[in-house]
Chain A
Amino acid sequence: MSMKTPSKLEKILSEGHLAVTSECGPPRGANPEHIIKKAELIKNHVDAVNITDNQTSMTRLCSLAACIRLKLMGLEPVLQMVTRDRNRIALQSDILGAASFDIYNVLCLSGDHNSFGDCAQGQNVHDIDSMQLAQMVRHMRDEGKFISGDDLDGRPQMFVGAAANPFADPFEIRVPRLAKKVAAGVEFIQTQCIYNLEKFEEWMKGVRDRGLHEKCYILAGLTPMKSVGMAKYMQKRVPGMDVPDEIITRLQGVEKGKQAEEGIKICVESIQRLKECEGVAGFHVMAIEWEEKVPEIVEAAGLYPRPNGN
Chain B
Amino acid sequence: MIVADRKPVEEIIEYLKDHQNILVLGCNECVTVCEAGGKKEVQVLASALRMNAQKNGNEVKIDELTLERQCDHEYLEEIRDIIDQYDAVVSLACGVGIQFTAEQYPNSMIYPGVNTCFMGATEKRGLWVERCQGCGQCVLATTGSVCPVSRCAKRLFNGPCGGSTSGKCEINPEVECAWQLIVDRLKALNKLDEYEKLSPIKDWSTDRAGGPRKVVREDVQQ
Contacts and interface: CB of A to CB of B under 8 A. Distances in A.
Contacts of A173: 160, 183, 192, 195
A129 B163 contact: no
B170 A239 contact: yes
A99 interface: no
Contacts of A88: 201
Contacts of A110: 154, 156, 161
Contacts of A131: 158, 198
Contacts of B166: 169
18 contacts: A110-B161, A112-B163, A113-B154, A116-B171, A129-B159, A130-B156, A136-B201, A168-B162, A169-B160, A169-B177, A169-B180, A173-B195, A179-B196, A239-B165, A239-B170, A240-B161, A240-B162, A240-B163
B155 A126 contact: yes
Contacts of A126: 154-156
Interface string B153-192: 1111111111111110011000001001001100000001
Contacts of B155: 126
A51 interface: no
B204 interface: yes
A147 interface: yes
Given A112-B170, A132-B158, A172-B183, 8 more contacts: A113-B153, A113-B154, A169-B177, A173-B160, A173-B183, A173-B192, A192-B162, A240-B170
A155 interface: no
Contacts of B164: 168-170, 239-240
Interface string B30-44: 000000000000000
Nearest to A132: B201
Interface of B is mostly: loop
B41 to A, nearest CB: 28
A63 interface: no
Contact of A180 (B158, B170, B183, B201): B158
Contacts, number: 93
The 5 closest A-B pairs by CB, nearest first: A165-B162, A239-B170, A239-B163, A131-B158, A240-B162
A184 B158 CA distance: 10
Interface of A: 83-84, 88, 110-113, 115-116, 124, 126-132, 135-136, 147, 163-165, 168-170, 172-173, 176, 179-180, 183-184, 192, 239-240
Interface of B: 153-167, 170-171, 177, 180, 183-184, 192, 195-196, 198-202, 204
A129 B157 contact: yes
Contacts of A184: 158, 198
A183 B196 contact: yes
Contacts of B163: 112-113, 168, 239-240
B196 A176 contact: yes
B160 A168 contact: yes
Contact of B156 (A116, A129, A163, A168): A129
Contact of B201 (A124, A128, A164, A165): A128
A174 B195 CA distance: 11
Contacts of B192: 173
